[in-house]
Amino acid sequence: MQTEPTEEMPTDYPLAQPHVRQMQGYVPGEQPQAGKFIKLNTNENPFPPAENVVRAIKDAAESHLNLYPDPTCLAFRRVAAEVLKVEPDWIICGNGSDDILTILTRTFVGAGQALRMANPSYTLYRTLAQIQNAETDVVDYEGDWSLPAQFYAPPSKVKLIYLANPNSPSGTLIAKREIERHLGELTCPLVVDEAYGDFAVENCVELVNKSDKVIVTRSLSKSYSLAGLRFGFAVAQPHVIAQLLKIKDSYNCDRLSIAGATAALSNQAWLSETLQKIKQTRMRLEQTLSDLGFNVTPSQANFVWCQHPRKASRTIYQELKEQRILVRYMSYDGWGDGIRITVGSDSQIDAMLAILKSILGI
């Protein structure tokens, strides 16, 4: 007869650093792997990636997987440099743009220092500060989703500013001209996180030429339909990139993702066509949500942020989930809440809207 265990497994581990023990950890959007949901919650692109991307990955799978990848991702940087009109040594690659954000935070922000972010915005920035045992200096967006001028002139404790642009959850864009106007006031680097930049009317890559305090980050997850591949990059002046390279893991991008990402950037025709489809669906989604009475924030991204005056956002989220539609419910302390709906395919959006109408009794 076996004895029953008398001790419970411990839940704490006192040997971890105190600030780590206190952390909750970042909670990513729900990722049901079963495929029974219509997923409109984590801003994935509804379309499969380009055929040449899949082909490049399959070729790479048969070619020297036993050997380490190029630690500098030169093949990718050459193609991306051409697309972005910079030189390859202005680019550093990462295992998703989250890896790039981690590298940036570790390069610039030490324990007891701070990073600045807007609110509401991408909550991962706060987690990155917590991991560094650093503080988060939060500046609220104005009611019209503009930022006060002092956003760009933080106190000396702040060593890095994060600006998600387009922003999540709002989908709004701070104009390049507006950012450019404040470049002279910056006392620390400003990261313009353009994870959604391809969906917007303009971007800030050009500003990298004008100031070595500007660092632009990009992701292939959204616009290139490659969330499953994990590939992102940053653009900055070479002496900035040189510091970041010291912090990254040597082989942070694998052979398959380098091959896939290089093929993706090579196919700008696919990108244009896909962006066109998503922007058309976005326009239709915004219009229909407005017709249903939602307050809709006009979006420059591949998602739409909205609230309904007659029904709580959390309830809408829950009732959609019961009907196997996943959207993202987001609540920000002292600010408010809303639902963020990814611009899926036309049929996904139609299915979501039909259920939404029934939920609202329309």
* Binding positions for a copy of itself, 249-268, rule CB under 8 A: 249-257, 260
The two three-digit tokens of residue 81, written as one number: 């440099």
Among 2, 5, 10, 333, binds a copy of itself (CB under 8 A): 10
Q: Which stretch binds a copy of itself (CB under 8 A): 77-85, 239-247, 313-321, 329-337?
A: 239-247
Q: Where are the alpha helices (DSSP H) in 62-160?
A: 74-84, 97-108, 124-131
Whole-number Å distance between alpha carbons of 317 and 307: 11
Among 153, 245, 271, 283, binds a copy of itself (CB under 8 A): 245
214-219 vs 232-235, strand pairing mode: antiparallel
Tokens 């600010």 correspond to 335
| Binding positions for a copy of itself, 102-121, rule CB under 8 A | 102, 106-111
x/- letters, 150..189, toward a copy of itself (CB under 8 A): ---------x----------------------------xx
Q: Which stretch binds a copy of itself (CB under 8 A): 59-67, 170-178, 304-312, 333-341?
A: 59-67
Q: Where are the alpha helices (DSSP H) in 297-345?
A: 313-322
Among 38, 88, 98, 161, binds a copy of itself (CB under 8 A): 98
Question: 122 with 168: CB under 8 angstroms?
Answer: yes
| Binding positions for a copy of itself, 13-42, rule CB under 8 A | 13, 15-17, 20-21, 23-26, 28, 31, 33, 39, 42
- Pick between residue 107 and residue 165 the one whose CB is nearest to a copy of itself: 107
Q: Which stretch binds a copy of itself (CB under 8 A): 91-99, 143-151, 281-289, 354-362?
A: 91-99
Q: What is the 3-state secondary structure (H, E, C) of 70-97?
A: CCCCHHHHHHHHHHHCCCHHHEEEECCH
Instruction: Give 218-230 as a DSSP string.
Output: EESSSTTS-TTT-
